[in-house]
Structure 1
Amino acid sequence: MKLFSTILILCCCVASLYGQNLARKVSFSYNRLALKLVLDDISADHDVYFVYSPDYIPTSQPITISVNNIALSEALDKLFDPLPVAYKSIGGQIVLRPVEKNPPPRITNKTIPKEVDQQSPLYADPRMEEIIAERKKRWAQSSPTISGRPAPQKLPSNTESKSLENLTATRFDPLVIDSTLLMEEEVAAAPVPNSDSTTDSTSVVINPKKNLPRLAQISLLPFLGSNFVQSARTTNRVSVNLLWGHNGGVEGLEIGGLMNSIRNDVQGIQIAGLGNTVGDDVLGTQAAGLFNIATDTMVGVQGAGLFNILGRGSALQGAGLFNIARHDFAGVQAAGLFNIAGKNSRAVQVGGLFNVSGGRTRLQVSPLFNIAKDVNNGQLSTIINVARQVKGVQIGLINVADTVSGVTIGLLNLVRKGYNRVELSTSESFLGNLAFKIGVKPFYNIFYLGARISEAQNPGNNTEESIKELTWGLGYGFGTAFSLGKRTLSNLELISIKVNEREGWTRPLHQLHQVRLLFDWRLGKRMSIYAGPTANLLVSSRKDPELGIGGSELVAKTTLYDKTDANKRSQGWIGFNAGIRL
């Protein structure tokens, strides 16, 4: 009972979380703009989330509309009135469905008896068989037959074409609808044969989701329960399946020992020991030991030990292994392994391994990797984040994006339309420097290579003949850039350089740390010059034959800091750096 109360409270919280007021006042104006762009703009400006399938909704239809300070419901009525589209508010979402604006007329023949209102909450009306038999009899009598074959009927004479006088038309066999079909489907429109007319045509519109209402049912297995063969055509307020049940719909509560299977919609709560499956929409909660499946729209909560799958909607999904939303999704996905949202999502995805979103997403958090088309808030992982457009933050070992309007923080940030620069410079320590800077202005990575040529006396020659030796450095750092004017900016950078002095690789500690403050003047579209001071700190355990422990020719003659202990030496000074940036 405590678990049941908790689930009800959670459903209420989710419903209130995504609730939206259709009475709010809105204003917008569009002139021959595609429907998809109109819906996206309304969503962004008025915090309205539309759920639809572009396969059935004419998203490319040009829209011309102008509303000013009217209720959202009135604005939507005006927007969708000329389109074959109907909308319905489910939870906090506006669900769009294709409709036929001018459906065929419904049956109006007074000779067809009306349906008898259901009197029993558990069993079918006992007079239904008599009603169906009477209906068959009336329809059969309305079509005269000769020797069991349809009687030919002559067409009216046409004075303009005498050749038509010999033409005859044969009436079709009487329309017979099986009783089981009547129990399952609602006949929306069909002609009634009339002996005075020969031009009627047959047109039937079926509503397969029209079920028989019941207060309650109990079953052991599919079709082995109180509703018997009518189970798949029945919507129950309360449904109890001892092992496995198959019903038409639920508008209340369904509990199953093993499985609950619903053909159409669920509005309420489903609880099963193994799994719940719904063939259409779910408005409410699904909880199961292994899995939950909602084929179409889901608004509510899905909780399962293994996995949850839904078509589209707004929900909270929690599973031990994975969650999948095949189309548009809003809400939260949390799983032990991974989460997948097929298309656009306003969701938070938290996965034990990875997260994938086929469209726009809000936030992705995982240990391995996150992949999305567009990101509104951020991606956080320990290895790699991949997105097209990022409006927020990317934090990971490797971050990949096309454009970023926020910041990417990682060891390697690859942004195609970002702050990507190549620098050639000189300084007092290394006369030649090459640097690659990649990322975005708020945070970018620096890959550095520096070198200098030194002259030293040849130890194998007693003369003063000297030889040239190479001192080089390999470094990594990061920085930030901020604009000072239209053509000027400033860089603040931190770099650590491994120094190999006069040898291929210096094994002892020999590290140069730099803090740079640079000022950049742009000369052209991509080229600029820069210069600025550098604060240097060399920490070394290398023993120089001439300069002693920690000695280096990189150190300026005048130092601001010089400290030596038992096995290393630290020296600090102010230098400079200047160069060309491409």
Structure 2
Amino acid sequence: MTRPAHVGLVYPISTNGKDAPLYTNQFSLHIIAGVSKAETGAALAGISNIVKENVSGAAVAGFSNHIGNITKGASVAGFMNTVHNKAQGVMVAGFINSAKELKGYQVSGFANFATKGDTSSGQLAGFLNKGDTVQLSISGFGNMHRNAKVQLAGFINTNGNAHTQVAGLMNVAKKVKGVQVAAFLNIADSSDYPIGIINIVKKGEKQLSLSVDETSTTILSFKSGGRVMYGIIGVGYNFKDADTRYAIQAGIGAHVFERPRFRINVEATSTALTDVKKWEYHKQTLAILPAWRLGSRVEVFAGPTFNHVNTKNGIGEDLSGYYLWSGHYRNNKFWGDYIGGTAGVQVKL
């Protein structure tokens, strides 16, 4: 049975009375909450809309929408939207959206959940997205999916097969076709382009490296990544200056040319030297490093580096004997650029 309009206060105080769950309405308006079988137009409620079957228009409620089967339009609620079967339109909630199957978009202030999905779907949440398959997922904290093409999160992404993952701390996936970008850690079965300090790739490469540069800084570093990109993290010691005795280093690298016994690695690193009390010497380096393999596990490398130094109070300023360009600035700051070199050996783990 279909009615052109359904108006009321709260079930069963309405024009459809106690039989409201049996009617399909073209328009509904309730001051507090409405109940219906289905809605083909707009359903508006001050608190909640409760629809037993389908909504093909828009359901708008101050607190929540509860749809028993399928929604093909827009569900907008101040707190929560729940679709017990398929959501084919747009779900917008102040706190949480939940659907059994998503073929549309979910936007919420806190979390989105979809048990199933497809590649045309998208999720945007202030805290968490969780689902099966989506095209794009963006959240302030984390995304958890089985098959998401693009995931963007402030803290963590987990996925089965992914194209792109970007996270503030870490990414976890099986097969990654595109890039993984994380401030700290990437984990994958296969990922050619992980960009992070540590990258644990099952089909990738891990090396322990020992190097020395023109400033007598010796670095022991861990390099980990995929077929092309890798991360670098290391500690070391400077034998030249007591004020810059200890070193920490982090960066990323890429294998840009490769043959069975020879390859060229390009590395961008940032190194800080300190006496533990003061952290005033910082060096950013771009290195081009030809590398030769000695057997299956050992590799030696050496090459030029392009360096930018910024320091304060003269600490480490004389570690380089010359500068292509340099200048002193206010507050005893010094900036300089020079060409140097580094050499070392690394062992495949």
TM-score scaled by length of structure 1: 0.50
Question: Is 2:100 aligned against 1:311?
Answer: yes
Q: Is the 8 Å Cα contact of residues 197 and 233 (structure 2) preserved in structure 1?
A: no
How far apart are 1:277 and its partner, in Å?
Answer: 1.0
Amino acid at match of 1:374: G
How far apart are 1:299 and its partner, in Å?
Answer: 0.5
Question: 1:360/1:280 Cα in 2 relative to 1: closer, same or farther (>3 Å)?
Answer: same
Q: 2:136 pairs with 330, 348, 351, which one?
A: 348
Alignment-derived partner of residue 331 in structure 1: 121
Alignment-derived partner of residue 517 in structure 1: 288
How far apart are 1:528 and its partner, in Å?
Answer: 3.0
SS in 1 for 2:116: coil
SS in 2 for 1:232: helix
Amino acid at match of 2:123: Q
Alignment-derived partner of residue 397 in structure 1: 183
Q: 1:579 pairs with 330, 342, 345, which one?
A: 345
Q: Is the 8 Å Cα contact of residues 430 and 450 (structure 1) preserved in structure 2?
A: no
Alignment-derived partner of residue 530 in structure 1: 301
Q: Is the 8 Å Cα contact of residues 349 and 355 (structure 1) preserved in structure 2?
A: no
Q: 1:360 pairs with 128, 147, 156, which one?
A: 147
Question: 1:523/1:266 Cα in 2 relative to 1: closer, same or farther (>3 Å)?
Answer: same
How far apart are 1:213 and its partner, in Å?
Answer: 4.0
Question: 1:270/1:515 Cα in 2 relative to 1: closer, same or farther (>3 Å)?
Answer: closer
Q: 2:69 pairs with 263, 280, 283, which one?
A: 280
Amino acid at match of 2:133: S
Alignment-derived partner of residue 373 in structure 1: 159
Equivalent positions of 1:149-548 (< 5 A) are: 212-328=1-117, 330-335=120-125, 337-342=126-131, 344-351=132-139, 353-366=140-153, 368-374=154-160, 376-405=162-191, 407-425=193-211, 429-430=215-216, 433-440=219-226, 442-451=228-237, 473-499=247-273, 507=278, 509=280, 514-534=285-305
TM-score scaled by length of structure 2: 0.78
Q: Is the 8 Å Cα contact of residues 258 and 275 (structure 1) preserved in structure 2?
A: yes
SS in 1 for 2:21: helix
Question: 1:294/1:498 Cα in 2 relative to 1: closer, same or farther (>3 Å)?
Answer: closer
Amino acid at match of 2:222: F
Q: Residue deviations 1:188-238, cap 9 Å, x none?
A: xxxxxxxxxxxxxxxxxxxxxxxx444444444324444444332333333
Q: Is the 8 Å Cα contact of residues 388 and 403 (structure 1) preserved in structure 2?
A: yes
How far apart are 1:300 and its partner, in Å?
Answer: 0.7
Q: Structure 2 regions of 5+ residues with no counterpart? A: none
Q: Is the 8 Å Cα contact of residues 216 and 236 (structure 1) preserved in structure 2?
A: yes
Query: Counterparts of 2:107 and 2:75 in 1: how far apart (Å)?
Result: 11
Q: Is the 8 Å Cα contact of residues 318 and 334 (structure 1) preserved in structure 2?
A: yes
SS in 2 for 1:475: strand
How far apart are 1:425 and its partner, in Å?
Answer: 4.5
Q: Residue deviations 1:387-438, cap 9 Å, x none?
A: 3433323333223221453533344444444332112445665496533212
SS in 2 for 1:420: strand
How far apart are 1:359 and its partner, in Å?
Answer: 1.1
**RMSD between superposed Cα atoms in Å:** 3.8
Question: 1:551/1:216 Cα in 2 relative to 1: closer, same or farther (>3 Å)?
Answer: closer
Question: 1:357/1:472 Cα in 2 relative to 1: closer, same or farther (>3 Å)?
Answer: closer
Q: Is the 8 Å Cα contact of residues 424 and 580 (structure 1) preserved in structure 2?
A: yes
Question: 1:296/1:400 Cα in 2 relative to 1: closer, same or farther (>3 Å)?
Answer: same
Q: Is the 8 Å Cα contact of residues 540 and 550 (structure 1) preserved in structure 2?
A: yes
Q: Is the 8 Å Cα contact of residues 294 and 310 (structure 1) preserved in structure 2?
A: yes
How far apart are 1:296 and its partner, in Å?
Answer: 0.8
How far apart are 1:497 and its partner, in Å?
Answer: 4.0
Q: Is the 8 Å Cα contact of residues 539 and 571 (structure 1) preserved in structure 2?
A: no
SS in 2 for 1:326: strand
SS in 1 for 2:259: coil
How far apart are 1:488 and its partner, in Å?
Answer: 2.6
Amino acid at match of 1:253: A
Amino acid at match of 1:373: N
Q: Is the 8 Å Cα contact of residues 537 and 573 (structure 1) preserved in structure 2?
A: no
Amino acid at match of 1:355: G
Question: 1:520/1:236 Cα in 2 relative to 1: closer, same or farther (>3 Å)?
Answer: same
Query: Counterparts of 2:245 and 2:47 in 1: how far apart (Å)?
Result: 74
Per residue, is there more strand in 1 or in 2?
2
Question: 1:289/1:446 Cα in 2 relative to 1: closer, same or farther (>3 Å)?
Answer: closer
How far apart are 1:278 and its partner, in Å?
Answer: 1.1
Alignment-derived partner of residue 195 in structure 1: none
Query: Counterparts of 2:6 and 2:238 in 1: how far apart (Å)?
Result: 88
Question: 1:407/1:227 Cα in 2 relative to 1: closer, same or farther (>3 Å)?
Answer: same
Q: Residue deviations 1:371-397, cap 9 Å, x none?
A: 222353423343443434333233332
Q: Residue deviations 1:534-570, cap 9 Å, x none?
A: 45677777889xxxx9555xx57xx575968697696
Question: 1:577/1:248 Cα in 2 relative to 1: closer, same or farther (>3 Å)?
Answer: same
Question: 1:244/1:414 Cα in 2 relative to 1: closer, same or farther (>3 Å)?
Answer: same
Amino acid at match of 2:94: G
Q: Is the 8 Å Cα contact of residues 426 and 579 (structure 1) preserved in structure 2?
A: no
SS in 1 for 2:53: coil
Q: Is the 8 Å Cα contact of residues 165 and 171 (structure 2) preserved in structure 1?
A: yes
Query: Counterparts of 2:308 and 2:194 in 1: how far apart (Å)?
Result: 28
Per residue, is there more helix in 1 or in 2?
1
Which structure is richer in relative contact order (CA contacts within 8 A, separation 6 or more)?
2
Amino acid at match of 2:62: G
Query: Counterparts of 1:234 and 1:543 in 2: how far apart (Å)?
Result: 82
How far apart are 1:487 and its partner, in Å?
Answer: 3.9
SS in 2 for 1:245: strand
Q: Is the 8 Å Cα contact of residues 192 and 225 (structure 2) preserved in structure 1?
A: no
Question: 1:577/1:292 Cα in 2 relative to 1: closer, same or farther (>3 Å)?
Answer: same
